[in-house]
Amino acid sequence: MEQDQKQNHKNGVKDHDHHGFGHPHGHPEKKADESAQVNAPEAAAAAAQMSAEQKPKQEEKPKTEHEKDLEKIDELQSQVGAVNDKYLRLMAEFDNYKRRTLKENQQIVEQANEKLIKDIIDVRENFERAFKAHKEGADAKPFIDGMKMVFTKLDNVLHRHGLEVYTEAGQEFDPQLHDAMMKTPHETIPEHHIAEVCEKGYRLKGKVIKHSKVIVSSGKPAPAQEKKEKASCAPAENEAVFEVESEPNDKEKKEGTEGA
C-alpha cells in the first residue's frame, strides 16, 4: 500500500511539472513566443539595414554631353520664357502710360486755351461796345482813342499769357530772329542793323513763333545814291491805319484794364 502511495505521489509530481505549475516562471514557451512577436518588426528593420549596408552601392552613370546639352537648353528656354513674359508686361504698361499721358496733356492744353479764350472774349466785347457807341459822321478821335485802349488791353492779355513782341529799328540784324526783306542805305543806322521794321516778331514763353520782317541798313549812302528814293515798308498814303505804341505806358495800361 505504501508503495502505491509513493507511486501515486511521483505520478502527481510529474503531472504537476507537465502542466507548468512547478516551473518558477510559469509557461516559458508561451512567453518566448510573445517576446518574439514584439521584437519581430525591430528585428526585420535591423536586418534590412544590415542587408542595405552590406549591399554594394550602385555607381551613378555619368551624363553624356547630349544629356547635358538638353538640360542646358531646357534651362535657357525657361529663362527666355520668363524674360519674354516680363517684356510683354512692360510693353502693356508702357502703352497704358502713353495713352494716359497723351490724355492728360490734351486736357492741359484744352484748359490753357480755355483760359486764353475767356480773356480774349472780354477784349472782343470791348470792341463790340466801341463799334456800337460810334456813330457815323461823329468825331473820329474818341473812337480811335477807344480802339487804342482796347488794343492795349488785348496786348496786356497776350503778354500775361507769355507772348512777347520783339524787334525795333536800330537793333543788330540776327538771321535767327529776323527775315531780311531788302537792304537800303541809311544816314544814321550802321550797316547790318535794322533800318525799318515791316512786321514785328513774336516769342511765346521764350520760343520764337513768328520771325520779324525787316529792312536792313547797308550803311551811309554814297553821294550818287542820295537822290534815290529809300526803300520802305511803310503803308501807302491811301491805306487806312492807325499807330499804336508798342510798349504802352502805365496810364494806358490802367485805362486798358478799366476798358472802353
Whole-angstrom Cα distance, residue 92 to residue 86?
Answer: 10
Quick one: which of 135, 195, 186 has its CA closest to 167? 195
Q: Where are the domains of the chain?
A: 79-161, 165-226
pLDDT digits (tens, 9 = 90+) for 108-157: 888 878 888 898 999 999 999 888 888 777 788 888 988 999 999 999 99
pLDDT digits (tens, 9 = 90+) for 42-62: 666 666 666 655 555 556 678
**CATH number of 165-226: 3.40.50.1010, 1.10.3720.10, 2.30.22.10, 2.40.160.40?**
2.30.22.10
In this prediction, what percent of the chain has a pLDDT beyond 70?
A: 63
pLDDT of residue 33: 53
Name the grid cell of 17: 511539472
pLDDT of residue 112: 79
pLDDT digits (tens, 9 = 90+) for 60-109: 678 788 888 888 999 999 999 999 999 999 999 999 999 999 999 988 88
Asked if 181 and 145 count as a contact pair (C-beta separation under 8 A), the reply is no
Whole-angstrom Cα distance, residue 143 to residue 137?
Answer: 11
Give the Cβ contact number of residue 250 at 10 Å. 7
